[in-house]
Structure formats: structure tokens, C-alpha cells
Structure 1
Amino acid sequence: MQLYYSPTSPFVRKIMVLLHETGQLEDVEKLPTSGTPLAPAKGLPAHNPLGKVPALARDGAPTLYDSRVICQFLDDRARASLYGEGESKWSNLVVEATADGIVDAALLMVYERRLRPDDKQFHDYIESQWHKVEQAVEALDQKWLSNLSGPLSIGQIAVGCALGYLDFRHDARGWRKNAGGLDDWYAKFSERPSMKATIPAG
């Protein structure tokens, strides 16, 4: 299998953490790929028509794309049960979706600043995206800490990578100020070897 990836993508990091945690890291060849929404990486649309990473190419089978699809495939492949069963499964999927929503909003903030000239940037739009981040962080802190404190799950991995991305790109905004419980949880979770091995740089 070949993983088309960017080392700074929080969606890629989610997959990399899962690979570490499930012992599948050596089964995947990592192919660095870089691009922007305005200029997708050359050749990437052949694997993902949306022109986005991550994409997981498989021998004799369709390429998988979107981190949630790839994570479910790898979890199933390793029989790791990171999604759980019954009500636990739905809780984990909601937590994963909340974390991915944080990343979506945080990425849009980055793109607005990087891809538009200064005089064309829509600052109210940037602030509206950060408001989504704050609401989602508050929800995780107030409603989902018990889920995050259970056995390792896809929800925990997704939240860990989302909060790591906030530290990486939006540290000055201080997501922790109204989320003390989530901050404590993240401090412990970020000490996992899989998280330390995948810290973004650049």
C-alpha cells in the first residue's frame, strides 16, 4: 500500500497515529505530496479526484481517500476495534466528526490567510471559523471527556490530532482557556509514543 501524504496535514497524522498504534506502519509506503487548494499536487487527482491528501493506494483495489474512510479500512485490517460496538461506536464516530470539524475550520483559517492577498482577506470569516473551533472544543470538554478517558479509540486519536493542529497553527488563540479538562486529557494523550512520533514540523 502507498499513502500519499503531507507531514503537516492533521488528517494524515490521524492515519499515521493509527498505523503506529495498530502495528501497520511497515505495511505502508509513504509518498510525500504537497499542494494547495489552488494548486493540487501534480498527479494526486489520479488517486483522489478531489486533489486532497491523504489517499491510500492499494494493489488490485480502488484507492481509498478521506481520512475517515482510510482509518476505518486500517482498523478493520488490523481488527483493532478502535470504533467499538453498539452505542460506543456511534459515540466514537461523533467524537471523530467533531475533531475533524475542528480541523476543517482551522484549515480554512490558514487558507484564508495564505491564499488571499492581505486586502482580500475576510476577517469576519476567519473569526467565524474560530468560533466553530471554540464551540467544538467546549463540547468535547463538557460532554465527551468520559468517552475520551476510555480505551483507545478513533475518537481519541482524532481529537489528539485536532488539538495538536491547533497548537501547531493557532497556538496564540489559546484553545485551552475554557477547556481545563480537555487540556489535562490532551497533556496525557500527547505523551503516547504514536503522538510523539508524528508531531508536525514546518
Structure 2
Amino acid sequence: MKKIGILGGTFDPPHHGHLLIANEVLSALDLDEIWFMPNQEPPHKQKSKSITNEDRLEMLKLAIEGNHQFRIQTIELERNGPSFTVDTMKIIRANYKNHQFFFIIGADMIEYLPKWYKIDELVQLVQFVGVERPEYNHDTIFPIIYVDVPAMEVSSSIIRERLKKGKPVRYLLPDSVIQYIEENHLYGT
């Protein structure tokens, strides 16, 4: 049975923090692969209006290039409307019967879990993996495996803001992603 970690997000843009989390969970839990799963319409936040799904997908491809254990799962991009994890996991489990799934969430999402759509059903479909961060409360009634990841205070929103202001983003993003952003004049560059 293959053990697959799933890291969902807007990846708007994908950055070194995403890659660090994926790599640390892959190693800590001895997983076979990490699937990066870009959302179509996350119910809890807005993605950039000016960036297309194709741009996000291309940046993600560039970000994970060269790591044979990193893959992209596009199931949520292929559906319309809000992306509810429980619906996605039902489809994935039906299509990959001989796989065990570990859904990676940040410390901010651990606090938010009670508000997830059909959370009681979802915990039967997937094992949650929480990435710990000291400024968040990790108390929850839900079964979570915790993985320590070196702190990297970076977010896509910080990067978008820096790009809009013309500030440097080197070392926050893979160079190939920076080049794609500049060549395609994304985020106000």
C-alpha cells in the first residue's frame, strides 16, 4: 500500500515554505509521495483574481521540478464551485483504493478544523498531519499526527505584497518560479 501525503492550497504562488513542509512530512512519516493539490475555490479564503489556474499550475510544476517524490493532483482544478476536502477525498479514495492518505495542514487550519465541511466524515477518509507552529493552539478533538518543521515565516500573501511593491523575493521562491512570474508579469511585476 502506497502512503501519500496531500498538501492542498492555492499555491498563489508556491514558495519554499510549501516545499519545506512537504519534504519534512515526507521524511518524518516515511511517505512514498507528496501530492500538491491546488484548490479551485477554497471555501475559507480568496485566491488572486488576476492569476489563472494555468499560471498557478505552471508555477507549481516549476517549484517541484526535480523531486521525483513530488507530484501534482489536479482533481480540484477540474471541478467547479467550492472545493470541499471531504468530496475530493471521496473521489481520490475511489480512484486509488490501494493508497493510504495523509492530509497535511498548517497550525492555523488545526484551529479551524471544527468548521470544516463534514469534518466527522472526513476524518474517516484521511489521516490529518499537522505542521506545528508555536503561535497557534494545537489542541483539538480530532486525530492528528504532528510533524515538527523548521520555522519559515513566509506566505503567499507576503510574497504577493512584496512583488507588488517591487521588493525582492529571492530565497522565498524557487528561481524558476521567480523567472516565470517576471516573464508573465504576474503580481504587478
**TM value normalised by structure 2:** 0.32
Decide which structure has greater strand share.
Answer: 2
**TM value normalised by structure 1:** 0.31
Decide which structure has greater helix share.
Answer: 1
